[in-house]
Amino acid sequence: MNNGTNSQLLKGSLSVVILRLLEEREKMYGYEITQKVKELTAGEMAITEGALYPALHKLEAEGLLTTEIQVVDGRARKYYSLTKDGHREAVSRVSELTAFLQNLQTILNVGFKPAL
Amino acid sequence: MNNGTNSQLLKGSLSVVILRLLEEREKMYGYEITQKVKELTAGEMAITEGALYPALHKLEAEGLLTTEIQVVDGRARKYYSLTKDGHREAVSRVSELTAFLQNLQTILNVGFKPAL
DNA sequence: AATTATACCTAAGACTCGTAGGTATATAAA
DNA sequence: TTTATATACCTACGAGTCTTAGGTATAATT
């Protein structure tokens, strides 16, 4: 995951992003995921393929994703879908990450007094 | 940084947390930082010392922090403060991280329709 | 006397990620 | 026609960050 200038930020969130997107879309292929992230963040965030594909392979090896290859317009696409375990993990990891982000926000807002 | 069950989450935020806390407190020592994070997150988040001290040393080596040793109650404390560069970096990195978190939230909220 | 809290530190390994490559097809531009 | 861009997959290497698991030492508590 790449956020413009600072590229070494927030390791560990990529797999959660993948699982979260697949909760909404039934099945997606790698390239589609990269485009979806760009679209959602107005080009501010980009997933590199060197990170994405190993992450997808790992999730598949862990039994959270299954694959299915389709040829569209002469090009092979490898579609990924959540397994049952993948669904469970998606819910679990998203709520974990959300809790973490809230704690992080709390720390970043130290000393900030909101208007009443 | 440790978030209970999931310990391998969001690498890269520790240095920003350190810089942010030091923006508010003038000077802090390592142990104090670990306690402050626990306090702010109601015990949900804990910084491990094996991550904290190397991170502090690196920030010092980068010229963002300076140190000052004081003995209190027979125990030596190593106080860290922001340098001028440290202040600049704190502002810069906090806004970077905030932008990143917003993008991450957007992705996690895919498909979520807020009530109008 | 033993444990807990305070306070610092490091080494080894795990893990994630970016960079930089590689392969191949389809479409668009030059 | 040739070149570039978009699509679509992949891996190896190295950089960086973290956890685990130790170590040292003093003060306070049990």
Separation CA B106–CA A19 (nearest Å): 14
Strand D nucleotides below 7 A of a protein CB? 7-13, 16-23, 25-28
Q: What is chain A's pLDDT, residue by residue, as a tens digit (116 residues)?
A: 766 444 445 668 999 999 999 999 999 999 999 999 999 999 999 999 999 999 999 999 999 999 999 999 999 999 999 999 999 999 999 999 999 999 999 999 988 777 77
How large a percentage of chain B has pLDDT more than 70? 91
The pLDDT of residue B114 is 77
For testing contact with chain A, the best of B23, B47, B95, B103 (most A CBs within 10 A):
B103
Q: How far is the CA of B94 from the C1' of C4 (A)?
A: 36
The pLDDT of residue B115 is 80
Any residues with CB less than 8 A from the CB of A13 and at least 6 apart, and which? A1, A97, B9, B10, B104
**How close is the nearest chain B Cα to the Cα of A107, in Å?**
7
A9-41 per-position pLDDT tens digit: 566 899 999 999 999 999 999 999 999 999 999
Mark residue B94 as left, alpha or beta (left: phi above 0; alpha: psi -120 to 50; beta: remaining). Answer: alpha
CA B92, distance to chain mean position in Å, is 14
CB spacing of A111 vs B16 below 8 angstroms: no
Write phi, then psi, for B35 (nearest 5 degrees).
-70, -40
B71-105 per-position pLDDT tens digit: 999 999 999 999 999 999 999 999 999 999 999 99
Nearest to A45 by CA among A10, A20, A77: A10
Separation CA B36–CA B28 (nearest Å): 10
Nearest to B39 by CA among B24, B59, B61: B24
The pLDDT of residue B50 is 96
Strand C nucleotides below 7 A of a protein CB? 6-12, 15-22, 24-27
B21-63 per-position pLDDT tens digit: 999 999 999 999 999 999 999 999 999 999 999 999 999 999 9
Over residues B97-116, mean pLDDT: 88
Separation CA A108–CA A94 (nearest Å): 21
CATH T-level assignment (fold) for domain A14-108: Arc Repressor Mutant, subunit A (1.10.10)
pLDDT for B7 beyond 50: no
